[in-house]
Amino acid sequence: MPKVNHADIMREARTWRGTPFHHQARIKGHGVDCAQLVVGVGQALGLIGEYPREYVRYGRVPRPDYMRARLEEFMDEIPASEAVPGDVLWIYWRDARPDLPMHLAFFTDLHGRGILHAYEEAGRVVETALSAEVERRVDSWWRYRGVVE
């Protein structure tokens, strides 16, 4: 496994900015959703191997048990107090389903605390400040396995 640090993750994630939102896609510059952005960045850095195509067959309202199982394949859950830019937030995103974590975003240093994510309402991958509202909705924090300090 290559030596990858958090700065490498942020550099790669930022190359996806502007990629159009497209459910279940993972092609930089052409289309990606929030889960596939995390997979695409990890694959580009050699942190994730081949990702089975059947893992991309999920609905717009994901099942938390399925999402957690996929995250656990290549990431470790970490305490919020240890999170640094390049780690991933798993978020309760929709008001209609406050019980269902369903969105992934990279934690960034934009404006001190930001997120980079494939955001359907923006229509593309964007990086914005992490609002207090979104931070309250964080279910858990995750780090790719094998990242060096």
> What CA dihedral angle connects 44, 47, 53 and 59, to 10 degrees?
-100
Given CA atoms 21, 110, 68, 54 in this order, what sign does their dihedral have?
positive
Q: Which two tokens stand for residue 129?
A: 């400040």
Assigned token pair, 23? 């459910």
Please state the domain count of the chain. 1
Q: Long-range CB contacts (< 8 A, 24+ apart) of 106-112? A: 106/9, 106/10, 106/13, 106/37, 106/38, 106/41, 107/83, 107/141, 108/10, 108/13, 109/10, 109/85
> What CATH code is carried by the domain that includes residue 112?
3.90.1720.10
- Residue 14 has a pLDDT of 98
Least confident of 19-23, 76-80, 127-131, 145-149: 145-149
pLDDT digits (tens, 9 = 90+) for 17-66: 999 999 999 999 999 999 999 999 999 999 998 876 666 667 777 788 88
Residue 30's SS3 state is coil
Say if residue 142's pLDDT is above 70.
Answer: yes
Q: Is residue 101 predicted with pLDDT exceeding 70?
A: yes
pLDDT category at 1 given cuts 50, 70, 90 is low
* pLDDT confidence of residue 96: 61
| Averaged pLDDT for residues 126-140 | 94
How many CB atoms neighbour CB 31 within 10 A? Answer: 18
Q: Is the pLDDT of residue 121 over 70?
A: yes
pTM score: 0.94
Domain extent at residue 66: 4-148
What confidence score (pLDDT) does residue 113 get?
A: 95
Mean pLDDT confidence for 1-24: 94
| Interval 54-100: pLDDT, tens | 666 677 777 888 889 999 999 999 999 999 999 999 999 776 667 78
